[in-house]
Amino acid sequence: MLKPGDTIGILGGGQLARMMALAAAPLGLKCHIFAPEGDNPAFDVAAARTIASYEDVAALETFARSVSVVTYEFENVPARTAEILSALVEVLPNPRALETTQDRYIEKSFIRDLGLAVPDFVPVDSLESLTAAVAQLGRPSVLKTRRFGYDGKGQAMIKSETDLADAWSVIGQSPAILEQFIPFEREVSVVAARNTVGAVVTYDVAENRHTHHILAETTLPAHISAETERAAKEAASRIGAALAYVGVFAVEFFVVGSGENEQLLVNEIAPRVHNSGHWTLGGAETSQFEQHIRAIASWPLGSAKRLGRIEMRNLIGADSDQWLDFVTEPGLHVHLYGKAENRAGRKMGHLTRVLP
């Protein structure tokens, strides 16, 4: 169990690490951020920083010895990095969560094996196997690289007119899966926390709207039945338990059908604090960031109670130019990430409205 004064190591220097560090401070915990050179807004709110590559063994070892636990803000932590750190200090969530979620084929197989519904999928490792997979799942379907995909990167739609060789090139001829295309009613997610003694807290289900594959807006409550809401939270609990997970994670779902036929398909698991949980800053009794810190510190979890109807909007690129309007609106929770440049597609901040 960590105690006030102890230091948490965080891999990654972006906005998620920054919001974790801001949540750790009022609990009396310090943060040490490890990140490669670049724009690292988490550095501005942390007690210590290491600028080094995730392959730099000496830097990783020095970092591991300076902290009481290591966590991370992104799922693509190299396996070797996690291994080097784990030899010296506890890494939470445990590296198994990384292995399972870094590879879409392993991830979807794991979820299906838990008895949870997922879109049909088939592994693809060549143009020939892609051709066979498309014959099996039909068109439209979606080709996705097994690794390093996020915000729509590493994906290609297979439409009626798509040339399969082109699609195979678009994703870089990397090991992939072909996935059934799901004409969903809506996308929802559950953010959950699990601590070292297996206690689980789930936030209410969030409904998400994406633009160009990037989360644009999250609203709560989601437009789903109470039954579906329960099922989503139950699925998250089962996934957390099966991974012996410690920390905050998110499960994204497609909602298909409606009324009595409403059904959930798991889309993916994010082994970290999640953009669809940013509303919890100001919109829930305990934010997902504090919850994550409590979990990895082996502390009791906080209440996930929602404080009202929620509208969370991401500020992407030039959206953040209107910051003065945002800070002027009474009662609006504005969170800016302190990034140096508002390049197109870059997450610059978010806004949360908590409505009665």
User: Pick from 58, 135, 340, 344: which binds a second copy (CB under 8 A)?
Assistant: 340
Nearest alpha-carbon partner for 19 in 288, 237, 247, 225: 288
- The rounded distance, in Å, linking the Cα atoms of 218 and 311 is 6
Give the count of beta carbons closer than 10 Å to the beta carbon of residue 7.
18
Residue 218 half-sphere exposure toward CB, CA atoms < 13 A: 26
User: Pick from 12, 320, 347, 351: which binds a second copy (CB under 8 A)?
Assistant: 320
- The rounded distance, in Å, linking the Cα atoms of 233 and 230 is 5
CB-based contact 115:96 (threshold 8 Å): no
Part in contact with a second copy (CB under 8 A); list of ranges 25-33, 63-71, 171-179, 222-230 = 25-33
Q: Is 330 in the site for a second copy (CB under 8 A)?
A: yes
Question: Least distance to a second copy from the beta carbon of 286, Å?
Answer: 9
Of the pair 29, 85, the CB lying nearest a second copy is at: 29
DSSP β-bridge partners for residue 316: 347
> Which are the contacts of 277, defined by CB distance < 8 A and separation ≥ 6?
189, 191, 203, 206, 248, 250, 288
Q: Is 138 in the site for a second copy (CB under 8 A)?
A: no
Of the pair 46, 177, the CB lying nearest a second copy is at: 46
User: Pick from 58, 197, 324, 344: which binds a second copy (CB under 8 A)?
Assistant: 324
DSSP 292-349: HHHHHTTPPP----B-SEEEEEEEEGGGGGGHHHHHHSTT-EEEE---S---TT-EEE
User: Which amino acid is it at 322?
Assistant: Q
Please give the span between the terminal C-alpha atoms of the chain, in angstroms, as a whole number. 38
User: Pick from 10, 17, 22, 193: which binds a second copy (CB under 8 A)?
Assistant: 22
Length of the chain: 356
Of the pair 84, 201, the CB lying nearest a second copy is at: 201
Part in contact with a second copy (CB under 8 A); list of ranges 16-24, 51-59, 170-178, 263-271 = 16-24
Part in contact with a second copy (CB under 8 A); list of ranges 1-9, 107-115, 129-137, 243-251 = 1-9
User: Pick from 299, 312, 316, 346: which binds a second copy (CB under 8 A)?
Assistant: 299
Of the pair 172, 198, the CB lying nearest a second copy is at: 198
Of the pair 207, 290, the CB lying nearest a second copy is at: 290
User: Pick from 28, 138, 172, 345: which binds a second copy (CB under 8 A)?
Assistant: 28
Structure-block tokens of residue 320: 């953040």
Question: Least distance to a second copy from the beta carbon of 347, Å?
Answer: 13
CB-based contact 19:12 (threshold 8 Å): no
Per-residue binder mask for a second copy (CB under 8 A), 41-80, x = binder: --xxxxx---------------------------------
Residues of this chain that bind a second copy (CB under 8 A): 3-5, 18, 21-22, 25-31, 43-47, 285, 294, 299-300, 302-303, 320, 323-324, 327-328, 330-331, 334-338, 340, 349
